[in-house]
Structure 1
Amino acid sequence: MIRDGCAEVERVGGAGDQGADVIATDPFGRRWIIQCKHRRQGVSGAPVGVRDLHVLNGTGRPVHRGDVVVLVTNAAFTKPARRFGQDQRLHLIDRVLLEEWMQRGQPVWELLDDRPPTLKDPAPDVSPGAADSPEPKRYTLASAYEAQVLPWKPATMRQYFVRSVRRGVPVPAGKWDGQATHYTEEELRTWLADWASQAGSTSKIHSILSASNGTEPVDASMNSDEPPGDTVVSHAREKPRRSG
């Protein structure tokens, strides 16, 4: 969860954990409650059944105040368990999806088959003429970077979203299609402007926004996937002078 850009990740499993092993807050401000079920024999062992989901279902939201409740196992789930999870809005990650999560490096919310239950579509626009308005183009973080709507690659943008949550800067909601979150250009540029307004005068973001407006060239170093910093720091070293 830390790799995915979550903040306040806490391992709480143990005696009296009331069904929670990991608690985390994602870049969208959602509280994740995760329970882990380990099987010594993996997929060859007993699958996780409905009984294993009862405690998590009873405590995930009422006790732990979770927005997204997940059970992760290195084994499989029974068909009744999958039906129960779907009925109760519980996300189930089996051995196959767990390996995919580890290997692909995508955030868990982009790998889940089901839409996170707390991420809702915006209310439809019922104003006069709204039906004639074309749907704005949407971008994933990756396609927004490729189209130069965003100056940073997805991994770096997720770190900025985490910082936004901590600093009270609204994170764009976007629209989830079951695989990834898609944002309009207006949403992303509004976030960039909001972030710039709270950043210090030496922040990289001011130079980047100026460059995007054509007032100066974009520094390629600002398009890196390295963890972003709030201030511009020069790493140049003065060459020693030769004596004589």
Structure 2
Amino acid sequence: MSLVVVAAATVGLVVSKRRARERADQAKRDRLIEATDTMSGPEFEQWFARILVASGFRNVTVCGGSGDRGADVLAVAPDGRRVVAQCKRQSPSNRVGSAAIQRFAGTCRDIHGGEICILVTNSFFTAGDGIEIARQLNITLIDRNALEVWAWTGSRAT
């Protein structure tokens, strides 16, 4: 009987260590912005959700997909405000334009009740009207450079 207990404890310890190692390996991969370049859209949403969790956000939920009405990730910020994020996984040379920013602006607060609205891309935003619209509507734009800093440090670059 005691041999069974020892064996079960040993298996539990091995499994626990393996899971911890897998989590550490995933965290290391999550800091590499280049990894996002080969991800699908849903994989990028999951990746960004892990960044939020690692940064202290709570109740992080990935809800992207058809019919998401512009919200890919919902969360609660460390200060308690509701976060709505739209994720745009692109090739690094394909920039997110004004139309995507305008669509998100139309749903973030009114449809999803966002207090913090974030449009995040592994690429960059086109210069011009979209960036000004985001500024006027208090939508946070996170481009590749800011996202890389966030992934490495656990806090959003300003």
Which band: TM-score by shorter chain?
0.5 to 0.7
Q: 1:84 aligns with which of 124, 133, 138?
A: 133
- Aligned-partner SS, 2:61: strand
Which residue is equivalent to 1:62? 110
Task: Report the CA distance between 1:27 and its aligned residue.
Answer: 1.9
3-state SS of paired residue (1:79)? coil
**Structure with greater contact order relative to length (CA < 8 Å, sep ≥ 6):** 2
In structure 1, C-alpha distance between the alignment counterparts of 2:58 and 2:145, rounded to whole Å: 26
Contact 1:18 1:55 in 2 (8 A): no
For residue 105 of structure 1, report the CA deviation from its aligned partner. Answer: 2.2
| Amino acid aligned to 1:105 | G
Decide whether the 8 Å contact of 2:89 with 2:123 is kept in 1.
Answer: yes
Unpaired segments of 5 or more residues in structure 1? 114-244
What are the superposed Cα offsets for residues 117-143 of structure 1, whole Å, 9 maximum, x if unpaired? Answer: xxxxxxxxxxxxxxxxxxxxxxxxxxx
Q: How big is the alpha-carbon RMSD for the aligned residues of Structure 1 and Structure 2?
A: 1.0
Amino acid at match of 1:32: V
Residues paired across the two proteins, number: 106
3-state SS of paired residue (1:91): strand
Structure 1: which amino acid aligns with 2:87? C
Q: Alpha-carbon deviation of 1:24? A: 0.2
Identify the match of residue 7 of structure 1 among 32, 55, 58.
58
TM, length-normalised to structure 1: 0.42
Question: Once the 2 structures are TM-superposed, how far is the Cα of residue 31 of structure 1 from its aligned partner?
Answer: 0.4
User: Which structure shows the bigger proportion of residues in helix conformation?
Assistant: 2
Structure 2 distance, partners of 1:84, 1:48, is: 13
Q: Is the 8 A contact 2:123 2:143 kept in 1?
A: yes
Q: Which runs of 4+ in 1 moved over 3 A?
A: none
